[in-house]
């Protein structure tokens, strides 16, 4: 596989600190991305960390959450890949280790924005994700890899096509949390497996414990620069954060799955709202049984689509009387456009919404009353909008007893009025063709 040249590290960080991103000696591609992200001035941790990292020094950083440390390590990391002209065939040049999936996804979102004008590849590996898909991407070549410790160690030990011999930078983010969670042994094994020669390391930790110091000794070169922007601060959180608290009533809203339909005995529940209908009248009875207990009073509301009204016959047969409620459209706040913007811009929300969209379709295929709850009758455009998508994402789902994978794909279709309401937007245009590829 392709070898990469070595970086010169004879530059020394400037004594004077500049807070202007334009003052950084970085590529125009990175500067353009930073500008489009809306940043013009660096935070304290960025201004003090980026120059020594750009000079090739190892750095230990102590900074509060929200201080801007993600950019502080991603900008130098991306510049390393840019200067060395990393290509997929060179494998992985930078690894960022994060304690949790959520934080890893956030870092990936920032990296995606910073790399939009670069040619280098990026990706993520984390516990709970699709491992075969990760292997496929890694073997094609991921220049900037963001990972959680357990899954990274798994790939280092077991993925044959994982090229990491050209590793030039290692970032350990929130090292104290990584160790608190219990990844001490994994981190030691990871450090042993990764190449040490010509590798720059960056470690960030809010606290400096004995275990963190041990990790510093085995992962960083001698003489790292220690940067603590918080040592003279009087508070543990950033200065611009306005904080307060409110004493809440102990009563509130419980969002739950069907698991809560049985066994819960919460006194004085006022409402049971069933956004998704149950599969059986008996399940309906169990659900509404969480309210009006022991002779008390309660209310229940069931959402149904026009094509699901046949379920009322089953409820009537089970001696369950229901009244139809009407909600005036002008009384319902239209938040659709705001939600779509949030889901589009926030990578973690986008991935969560995509998973929710897929899970919803999978759940709908499991209904036993197929004559009423038929997944072929769903309007995917509106279902997608219920999860905050302007356009429904492509997803793979398994249908029927055969367990065959099916693809949800787009079909051009005008859907007037689809932006009216965020809640309960399911309809009737899903079709299935002979080769099991579904189109809306």
268 and 142 share one domain? no
430 and 406 share one domain? yes
Could you say which DSSP state residue 185 is in?
A: H
What is the percent of the chain with per-residue pLDDT over 70, rounded to a whole number?
84
381-to-98, 338, 391, 425 alpha-carbon distances in Å: 35, 17, 7, 8
Confidence at 431, pLDDT banded by 50, 70, 90: very low
Buried b / exposed e over 124-135, threshold 16 CB at 10 Å, is: bbbeeeeeeebb
First to last CA, the chain: 44
Predicted local distance difference test score (pLDDT) of residue 290: 87
Mean pLDDT computed over 78-94:
97
> How many residues does the structure list for the chain?
440
Residue 210: count of CB within 10 angstroms of its CB: 8
DSSP bridge partners of 438: 408, 432
Say whether pLDDT at 439 is over 60.
no
Confidence at 427, pLDDT banded by 50, 70, 90: very low
379 and 300 share one domain? no
Q: What does the pLDDT look like over 233-284, one tens digit per residue?
A: 556 566 677 888 888 887 788 888 888 887 777 888 899 999 999 989 999 9
Mean pLDDT computed over 86-107:
95
Tokens at 333, concatenated: 């706040």
Q: How far is it, in rounded angstroms, from Cα 247 to Cα 176?
A: 31
Confidence at 420, pLDDT banded by 50, 70, 90: very low
pTM higher than the cut 0.75: no
Predicted local distance difference test score (pLDDT) of residue 261: 80
Q: What does the pLDDT look like over 294-324, one tens digit per residue?
A: 778 899 999 999 999 999 999 999 999 999 9
Question: Cβ(377)–Cβ(428) under 8 Å?
Answer: yes
140 and 209 share one domain? yes
Asked if residue 13 belongs to a domain, the reply is no
Predicted local distance difference test score (pLDDT) of residue 264: 76
Give the range among 144-148, 368-372, 434-438 with minimum mean pLDDT. 434-438
Confidence at 2, pLDDT banded by 50, 70, 90: low
Confidence at 419, pLDDT banded by 50, 70, 90: very low
Q: Taking each helix axis as running N to C, give the angle between helix 69-83 and helix 28-36, from 0 to 180 degrees, rounded to the nearest 10.
A: 150
Backbone torsions φ then ψ of 420, nearest 5 degrees:
-60, -50
Could you say which DSSP state residue 20 is in?
A: B
Tokens at 427, concatenated: 């309809």
267 and 214 share one domain? no
Give the range among 44-48, 189-193, 225-229, 250-254 with minimum mean pLDDT. 250-254
Asked if residue 395 belongs to a domain, the reply is yes
DSSP bridge partners of 340: none
* Structural domain for 123, as ranges: 21-228
CATH number, position 315: 3.40.50.300
Say whether pLDDT at 152 is over 50.
yes
Say whether pLDDT at 383 is over 80.
yes
Confidence at 413, pLDDT banded by 50, 70, 90: very low
193 and 279 share one domain? no
Say whether pLDDT at 424 is over 90.
no
Q: How far is it, in rounded angstroms, from Cα 48 to Cα 229?
A: 8
145 and 180 share one domain? yes
Predicted local distance difference test score (pLDDT) of residue 266: 81
Mean pLDDT computed over 16-22:
82
Q: At which of 176, 211, 228 does a domain end?
A: 228
203 and 128 share one domain? yes
Asked if residue 243 belongs to a domain, the reply is no
Asked if residue 233 belongs to a domain, the reply is no
274 and 148 share one domain? no
Predicted local distance difference test score (pLDDT) of residue 437: 32
Domain count, the chain: 3
Mean pLDDT computed over 66-70:
83
Mean pLDDT computed over 419-427:
40
Say whether pLDDT at 106 is over 80.
yes
In the block, which residue shows the tokens 């070169």?
221
DSSP 344-402: HH-HHHHHHHHHHHHHHHHHHHT-S-TTTS-GGG--HHHHHHHTT-SSPPPEEEEETTT
Across the chain, mean pLDDT equals: 84
308 and 389 share one domain? no
Asked if residue 235 belongs to a domain, the reply is no
Asked if residue 187 belongs to a domain, the reply is yes
Q: At which of 272, 299, 325 does a domain end?
A: 325
């Amino acid at each position: 596989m392709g070898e990469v040249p070595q970086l010169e590290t004879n530059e020394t960080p400037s004594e004077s600190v500049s807070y202007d991103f334009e003052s950084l000696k970085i590529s125009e591609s990175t500067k353009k991305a930073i500008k489009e992200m809306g940043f013009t001035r660096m935070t304290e941790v960025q201004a003090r960390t980026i120059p020594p990292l750009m000079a090739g020094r190892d750095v230990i950083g102590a900074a509060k959450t929200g201080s801007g440390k993600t950019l502080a390590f991603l900008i130098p990391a991306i510049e390393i890949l840019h200067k060395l002209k990393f290509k997929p065939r060179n494998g992985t040049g930078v690894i960022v280790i994060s304690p949790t999936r959520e934080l890893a996804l956030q870092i990936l979102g920032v990296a995606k924005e910073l790399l939009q004008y670069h040619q280098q590849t990026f990706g993520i590996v984390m516990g709970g994700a699709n491992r075969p898909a990760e292997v496929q991407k890694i073997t094609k070549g991921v220049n900037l890899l963001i990972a959680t410790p357990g899954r990274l160690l798994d790939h280092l030990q077991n993925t044959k096509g994982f090229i990491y011999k050209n590793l030039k930078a290692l970032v350990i983010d929130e090292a104290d949390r990584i160790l608190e969670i219990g990844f001490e042994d994994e981190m030691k094994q990871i450090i042993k497996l990764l190449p040490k020669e010509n590798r720059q390391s960056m470690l960030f930790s809010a606290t400096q414990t004995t275990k963190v110091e041990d990790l510093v000794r085995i992962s960083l070169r001698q003489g790292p620069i220690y940067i603590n922007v918080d040592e003279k601060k009087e508070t543990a959180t950033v200065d611009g954060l306005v904080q307060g608290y409110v004493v809440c009533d102990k009563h509130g809203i419980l969002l739950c799955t069907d698991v809560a339909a049985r066994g819960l005995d919460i006194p004085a529940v006022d409402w049971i709202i069933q956004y998704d209908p149950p599969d059986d009248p008996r399940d309906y009875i169990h659900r509404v049984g969480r309210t009006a207990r022991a002779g008390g009073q309660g209310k229940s509301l069931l959402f149904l689509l026009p094509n699901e009204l046949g379920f009322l016959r089953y409820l009537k047969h089970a001696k369950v009387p229901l009244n139809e409620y009407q909600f005036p459209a002008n009384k319902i706040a239209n938040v659709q456009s705001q939600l779509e913007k949030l889901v589009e811009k926030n990578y973690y929300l986008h991935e969560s919404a995509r998973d929710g969209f897929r899970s919803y379709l999978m759940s709908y295929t499991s209904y036993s009353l197929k004559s009423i709850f038929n997944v072929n009758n769903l309007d995917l455009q509106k279902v997608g909008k219920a999860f905050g998508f302007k356009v429904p994402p492509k997803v793979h789902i398994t249908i029927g007893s055969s367990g065959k994978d099916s693809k949800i794909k787009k079909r051009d279709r005008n859907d007037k009025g689809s932006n009216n309401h965020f809640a309960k937007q399911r309809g009737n245009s899903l079709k299935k063709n002979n080769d099991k590829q579904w189109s809306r």
